Amino acid sequence: MKEQKQYFCIFGRQPIIEAFAAGKRFDKILILKNAGGDEMNTIEKKARETDCPVQRVPKEKLENILQKYSKYKEANHQGVIGFLSIIDYYSLEDVLHQVYAKGETPLFVVLDGVTDVGNFGAIARSAECLGAHALVIPSQGSAQINVEAMKASAGALNKILVCREKSLVGAVNFLKTNGIRIFGTEMKGATVLSKADFSIPCAIVLGSEGDGVSKEIMKLCDERIKISMSGTTESLNVSVSAGIILYEISRSRNPNG
């Protein structure tokens, strides 16, 4: 882990354009509010083509990042900063095809609104350890995959595949049309976790701790599941829930393992 920088930022319009031309992928790009011009248009076009989130931010935000992460006092952000991805992203269609080609039973973990990097990394760790084939995340509204997330995953983010999709609704619909049963998680789920059938191709949808799975995504779920609890605490941390659910799926699929 020592060779990884906390953030790998690129400052300036032309350097970011050149990085795109070289095939580099960005986790996100910050652009100064009201900034325009041909170069900015090119950057935004390339970002859309690669499903990279773009945020319009005030000058103070860019200045703070420049001061914190640039090694060079003379560096100029020129109204734009790009955060290079430290992992590769994969096509959901390609991953699903590969899983079926291997004769394996698909298991995907869909993260709807999980923005905390610690939780994200911990979920990735459980998912990789317990046999999930990939994480599916939206291009907007998901935790940034940075060194903190990598540390929380104990390196699992270097091993498990991550599919970053422009539309999570579209991704879930794609999985459904390809034979994947979608399980939505909620406190008042109709099916107790231990009673659900996970022997079939499936995807588990986990939502944010504050709001849970969005109504839009929950409507697409084929079945709602919950974890039985005997204590008085109302809910579990989302990464803990993920570990429990994924263990149950692993146990039910490999009863002798």
The answer to whether position 59 is within a domain reads yes
Same domain membership, residue 62 and residue 114: no
Using an 8 Å Cβ cutoff, are 222 and 174 in contact? no
pTM confidence score:
0.86
Better pLDDT: 48 or 5: 48
Same domain membership, residue 62 and residue 117: no
Same domain membership, residue 80 and residue 96: no
pLDDT at 235: 76
CA distance 158 to 233: 34
Same domain membership, residue 172 and residue 102: yes
pLDDT at 2: 32
Span 32-44, pLDDT tens digits:
999 999 999 999 9
Same domain membership, residue 97 and residue 78: no
pLDDT at 3 over 90: no
pLDDT at 187: 80
Span 197-246, pLDDT tens digits:
999 999 999 998 788 999 999 999 999 999 988 776 777 899 999 999 99
The answer to whether position 3 is within a domain reads no
The answer to whether position 125 is within a domain reads yes
Same domain membership, residue 215 and residue 96: yes
Same domain membership, residue 108 and residue 21: no
Band of residue 257 on the pLDDT scale cut at 50, 70, 90? low
The domain containing residue 57 runs over which residues? 9-84
Same domain membership, residue 28 and residue 50: yes
Q: What percent of the chain has pLDDT over 70?
A: 94
Same domain membership, residue 177 and residue 96: yes
Q: What CATH number is attached to the domain comprising 78?
A: 3.30.1330.30
Total count of domains within the chain? 2
The answer to whether position 37 is within a domain reads yes
CA distance 57 to 244: 39
The answer to whether position 4 is within a domain reads no
The answer to whether position 14 is within a domain reads yes
